[in-house]
Structure 1
């Protein structure tokens, strides 16, 4: 597959399955895009076409309890 080449039909279905498997295995959209020489938007679109449940941005964040102030660093 050449960079920027339009991918349709069975080739796109195969690519979508591969990308879905990698994403569900924990790989990021950016890492998949880089590995395939595609844009972030292309990979995102392909994943949404396969009904993948996309993860939130930035990974996990610690939960802050309501009513507690953040440490001041003093």
Structure 2
């Protein structure tokens, strides 16, 4: 996938649609936006925007949450 997109190049038309479909498929398989950005050599924001444009339902953030701690 990294070979299909030159870093910093504008991605439009059918190439953008193809990239969006590929990113969406990998995201739906469990890869993170950061991992996809690293694989493609693009920014987090670019990948996030492509996924959003393609109608992908983005997952919530992981990690620790704020609020009351749960003690047994």
Q: If the length of structure 1 is used for normalisation, what is the TM-score?
A: 0.79
Q: Compare CA radii of gyration and give the structure with the larger one.
A: 1
Q: If the length of structure 2 is used for normalisation, what is the TM-score?
A: 0.81
Q: Which runs of 4+ in 1 moved over 6 A?
A: none
Cα RMSD, aligned residues only: 2.5
Matched residue count: 67
Bigger RCO of structures 1 and 2 (CA < 8 A, at least 6 apart): 2
Instruction: Looking at secondary structure, tell me which structure has more helix per residue.
Output: 2
Q: Give matches, 1:1-74, under 5 Å.
A: 1-58=5-62, 70=71
**Which consecutive unaligned segments of at least 5 residues does structure 1 have?**
none
**Which consecutive unaligned segments of at least 5 residues does structure 2 have?**
none
